[in-house]
Amino acid sequence: MSLTAAFFAIIRRDLLLAFRRRAEMANPLFFFVLVVTLFPLAVGAQPNLLQTMAPGVVWVSALLAALLSLDGMFRSDFEDGSLEQMLLSAQSLPVLVLGKVVAHWLVTGLPLLVIAPLLALFLGLPERAMPTLWLTLLLATPVLSLIGAIGVALTVGLRRGGMILSLLVLPLYVPVLIFASSAVDRAAGGLPVSAQINILLSMLLAAAVVTPLPTAAALRMSVN
Amino acid sequence: MDGKCSNGLQVSGLACSRDDRLLFSGLSFVVAPGEALLLEGSNGSGKTSLLRILCGFRDADAGELFWRGRPLVDSDYLVEMAYVGHAEGIKKELTVLENLRFSRALNQPGKLSIDQALAKVQLAGFDDNAVQTLSAGQKRRLSLARLLITANTLWILDEPFTSLDRQGMALIETLIGEHVAAGGMVVMTSHHDLNLPVARLQRIHLDTCH
Amino acid sequence: MAFIPEPISRFFHRTASPPHFYALANRLIPWLSVLLVLGLAYGLYGGLYLAPADYQQGDSYRIIYIHVPAAWMSLFVYVVMAIMGGIALIWRMKLAEVMLISSAPIGAGFTFIALVTGSLWGKPMWGAWWVWDARLTSELILLFLYLGIISLYGAIEDKRSASRAVSILALVGVVNIPIIHYSVEWWNTLHQGATVSKLDKPSIHISMLIPLLTMAVAFKLYYAVAVLQAAKLELIKREPSAQWVKNLLETSA
C-alpha cells in the first residue's frame, strides 16, 4: 500500500479514536475558556484594559490549551504498542508522524477557532480584529502542534513528563506567540498585518517540512 | 558470508548489556528460510532485549545484523518482518476489522484477506466487535492475525502464547508450522513447553551466551 | 560512515575512545589551567584597573568584562552542544554524548551569569533591575533551553537514551535560537520604540577592547577546563566496570 494511503489511514484512525473518546475532546476547549475568564477576574474588568490585553490574553491562553492537549498525542500509542508497530511499518516514519500531528490538530487545534469569537467578545476585542484572530489561529496552532510533537516524542516514555514537556516546548513557542499576538494587536488598531501573516505562514510551512524528522528520531529513542 | 546464510537473518557477535550488566555477548546465529529459532533462558537473561534489537528498537552494544546478506538498514527488512510483542499494538476502542485494516494500510497486503485470517484464528464473526469486549486470549489471537494479512517472511514473536488456552496454543503452533513450511522464518521466545511442528528448529539458551 | 575518508574517521575513533580521551584530558588540563589563570589575571587587571572609565557610564560599564564574555559563551557552548549532538546521532559516538551533557550545566552557568550581570548593569542605566531588553530576554529564553536539556537528561533513566534525547533537543534548539533571537529583537523594537540598548553595541575604545578580548579567551579556557573535568567524571560514571577504569583505579591506589 502506498505512502499516501498510510498517511490518510493514520489520520482516519486517529479521528475515529478521537470520536470514540469524544468526552475528552472538549477538555482543551474548556481550559481555553477558563484561562481567558481568569484574566478579567485577576486584573479587573475595565473595558479599556481588557481590550488592550485581549490579543495577548487570547494567544497566551490558546498556547496553554495547545500545550495541555499535547500529552495525548502519542501517549496511548506508546502504551498499547501501536507506536512500535508504526516504527516497524515499511512506510516513512516522518510522514506517518505528520499524519498523527495533522489528526491531533484537527481534534484539538481546530475547535479553538470555533470558540475564539466568544472569547474575543468576553474581552471586548474589536470586531475588525476577528478575521485576523482566526487567520493567526489557523496558521499558528498547527505550528504549535508540530513543534509540540517533538517535545511529546521526547517525553512520552517518562511517567511524569508533563512538567518537562512544558519546559521543553514553551521556549520554542516564543516566536509564534510574538508574531501571532502582534498581528491581532495591529488588526485591532486597524493596521495592516500582512508581514506577520506571511511570517506565520512561512513558519507553518517550514515546521511542516522539518519537525517530523526530529519527532520521528525522538520516537525511536523513546521506544528503546 | 557463506551462501547458505545470505538468504535469511544473520546475526554475528551480538552483545547487549543493561545497567552495566552484560546480558549476552558473542551471540551469533543464522535463521534461514524454513527455519525457526526458539530463544530460551531465565527471566532477565535478555530474551526480550534480543528481540528488540532484532526489531531495531534497541542498539546492540556490539555485533552486526544482516538480512539476506545485507546490513539491516540497507535491506527490505522492515517490509519482510512482522513483530508481536508484549504490547499487542491494537486499539481497544476500535473494532476488530478497523484494527486489521489499519495494520494492513501501514504494511504490504499479504496472502490472506482479513476474513480468511479471522477465520484462521477463530475470530470469524467478530469483525464489528470493539476490541475492548474481547477476552485476553481473543485479543492475542487478533494480534497474531496481523501476521497473516500482511506480506512478511520473518515473524518475531515475544511470548506469543501468553494468555492463550491449550486450544489457542495448538492453533498458534499450527500457524507457525505452516508459515515455516511455506519457507517463512520465525524467531520467538516462550517459556511454555512447546510442540512446534517445525522440522528445522534451533534453540539458543541465552544464559550460556557470555 | 561512508562519506568520511578512512584515516580521518580512524583518527576520530581513536581520540574518542574513553581511555585515550581520559589520558589526553589529564595532559591538557594543567596547561589550560595555567593559561586560564594568566588570562583571567591580565583581563581583570586590564579591565578593572588599566582601562579608562567611560565618559558616560563611569565605572559601572566595567561589568562588561564579565557580562559580554559570559553572553558570548552562553551561545558558544550551546552551538558546541548542538555539534556534539549531531556527531552523537550520526556516528553514535559516546564521547560526543558525554561532551554534550557535560557542557550543559557550564553553559547554563554562563547564561545565568550573563543575566545577573546584565541586570546589575541595567540598574544604573535604566533605573530598574529588570527591563525587557531584547538581549536580556533572549538570554532568559536561552537559559530555559539549557534547563530543558538538563532536566530531560535527568528524567530519562537509561543514559544512552537520555543522550540521544538531548542530542535531538540540542539540534532543535540551535535551529530555533536565531528565530527566537530575531523575533524577540523585532518584538522589542515594536514595544520599546526608541529605547537604545547599550548592551547591544558598546562603542568601545581599543584600551577597553583588549582586556575584553582577553577575558573572552579566558572564559573559553575556563569552559575547556571545566568541560574536560566534567567529561572525565561522566565517562567513569557511565562505564564503571570497564577495564580501563579498573586499570585507572589500580594505578591510583
Closest chain B residue by Cα to residue A91: B106
Q: Taking CA atoms, what residue in B is nearest to C92?
A: B59
CB contact under 8 Å between A175 and C183, yes or no, is yes
Q: Please indicate whether residue A149 or residue B198 has the higher confidence score (pLDDT).
A: A149
Check pLDDT > 80 for residue C56. no
Can you list the alpha helix ranges (DSSP code H) found in chain A? Answer: 3-20, 22-25, 27-43, 47-70, 72-80, 82-88, 93-108, 110-123, 130-155, 162-188, 194-210, 212-223
Select the residue of B81, B86, B89 nearest A82 (Cβ to Cβ): B89
Q: Tell me how many domains chain A contains.
A: 1
Helices C159-192 and A212-223 cross at an angle (nearest 10°) of 150
Which chain B residues are Cβ-neighbours of C239 within 8 angstroms?
20
Nearest to A84 by CA among A98, A74, A99, A72: A74
- Rounded to the nearest integer, the mean pLDDT of chain B is 87
Average pLDDT of the residues of chain C: 86
Are the beta carbons of B20 and C239 separated by less than 8 Å?
A: yes
User: For every residue of chain C, which 3-state class applies, written as one string?
Assistant: CCCCCHHHHHHHHHHHCHHHHHHHHHHHHHHHHHHHHHHHHHHHHHHHHHCCCECCCEHHHHHHHHHHHHHHHHHHHHHHHHHHHHHHHHHCCHHHHHHHHHHHHHHHHHHHHHHHHHHHHHHHHHCCCCCCCHHHHHHHHHHHHHHHHHHHHHHCCCHHHHHHHHHHHHHHHHHHHHHHHHHHHHHHHHHHCCCCCCCCCCCCCHHHHHHHHHHHHHHHHHHHHHHHHHHHHHHHHHCCCCHHHHHHHHHHC
Query: How many secondary structure helices (H) and strands (E) does chain B include?
Result: 6, 9
State the pLDDT at residue C191.
Answer: 62
- The partner residues of B185 in beta bridges, in order of sequence, read B154
Domain range list for chain C: 25-245
Per-residue confidence at C192, pLDDT binned at 50, 70, 90? Answer: low
Angle at which helices C159-192 and C94-126 cross, to 10°: 30
Q: Out of A211-215, C89-93, C197-201, C224-228, pick the least confident.
A: C197-201
List pLDDT tens digits, range B5-28.
468 899 999 998 887 788 888 899
Q: What's residue C202's pLDDT?
A: 52
- pTM of the entire structure? 0.91
Contacts of B59 in chain C (CB under 8 A): 92, 160
CA-nearest of A96, A203, A206 to A153 is A96
The verdict on a CB contact (< 8 Å) between B85 and A81 is yes
Radius of gyration over every alpha carbon of chain B, rounded to an integer in angstroms: 17
Chains contacting C (3 or more CB pairs within 8 Å): A, B
Q: pLDDT value at position C123? A: 83
Residue of C93, C167, C241 to mutate, testing the B interface (most B Cβ within 10 Å of its Cβ): C241
Q: Identify all chain A residues contacting B90, using CB atoms and an 8 Å cutoff.
A: 80-82
**Residue B105 and residue B96 in contact, taking contact as beta carbons nearer than 8 Å:** no
Q: Which amino acid is at A118?
A: L
CA B169, B170, B175 angle in degrees (round to 5)? 95
The whole domain housing A33 covers: 3-223
> Which letter does DSSP use for residue B161 in this model?
T
pLDDT at residue B6, as a whole number: 65
All 3 cell numbers of residue C170? Answer: 540540542
- B26-70 pLDDT, tens digit per residue, is 899 999 999 999 998 888 888 889 999 999 898 888 888 999 988
Which 41-70 residues of chain B touch chain A by CB within 8 A? 52, 55-59
User: Model confidence at B197, in pLDDT bands (50, 70, 90)?
Assistant: confident
Residues of chain B with pLDDT > 70, as a percent, come to 96
Residue C2's pLDDT is 46
Confidence at C1, pLDDT banded by 50, 70, 90? very low
Chains in touch with B (≥3 Cβ pairs < 8 A) = A, C
Q: pLDDT 10s digit of each residue in chain A, 224 long? A: 588 999 999 999 999 999 998 888 888 888 899 999 999 999 888 888 999 899 999 999 999 999 989 988 999 999 999 999 999 988 899 999 999 999 999 999 999 998 988 888 889 899 899 999 999 999 999 999 999 999 999 999 998 878 899 999 999 999 999 999 999 999 998 999 999 999 999 999 999 999 999 999 999 999 98
